[in-house]
Amino acid sequence: MSEKLIQSAIRASENAYVPYSHYRVGAALLTADGVIYTGCNVENASYPATICAERTALVKAVSEGVKEFDMLVVATPTGGSPCGVCRQALYEFAPDLHIIMVDFTGKIYHEAKLRDLLPLGFGGSHLDEAKGK
Ligand code: THU
């Protein structure tokens, strides 16, 4: 399955809209039901409006009613890792997500659990505590 996800992420990067950074990113998110949602980065002339590939894939899935995820592959030119915003966005749904980072040849640079990439991520228990639960 991870090879299929790797190829899906690489293919998704082809749709990246990157007129500003020219840095293409593709993501492939595997649901607990074995379905793959892909995403690419979509940039904007107002730079902060840019959405990363990982969050594109996540939002596509959640907007279809899917909230359980097992694995994510991120494909970049350099085998780069997901940004902090994406880590936190993914942590909301899948703190135990397995993440694989590859370049466009499919070479694996890193493999890690989201929990280890985002120690002490902000989540439900913090909110429960604040609400006195
Ligand atoms: N980018 C992603 O798509 N995912 C990340 O986790 C890191 C950064 C995108 C945002 C922007 O379009 C480009 O990479 C350069 O920062």
Instruction: Find the radius of gyration of the CA atoms of the chain.
Output: 15
Considering only CA atoms, which residue is closest to atom 4 of ligand 1? 52
pTM over 0.85: yes
Considering only CA atoms, which residue is closest to atom 10 of ligand 1? 52
Gap between the Cα atoms of 59 and 123, Å rounded: 18
Q: What is the pLDDT of residues 95-131, one digit of tens each?
A: 999 999 999 999 999 999 999 999 999 986 666 777 7
Q: In what order do the strands lie in the sheet with 36-40?
A: 36-40, 26-31, 69-75, 98-102, 108-113
C-alpha 52 to ligand 1 mean position (Å): 5
Residue with tokens 């997901």: 82
Per the document, the length of the chain is 133
Dihedral of alpha carbons 72, 112, 118, 130, sign: positive
Q: What is the pLDDT of residues 29-82, one digit of tens each?
A: 999 999 999 999 999 999 999 999 999 999 999 999 999 999 999 999 999 999
Is residue 54 part of the annotated active site? The answer reads: yes
Gap between the Cα atoms of 19 and 109, Å rounded: 26
Gap between the Cα atoms of 54 and 90, Å rounded: 8
C-alpha 41 to ligand 1 mean position (Å): 6
Gap between the Cα atoms of 79 and 112, Å rounded: 13
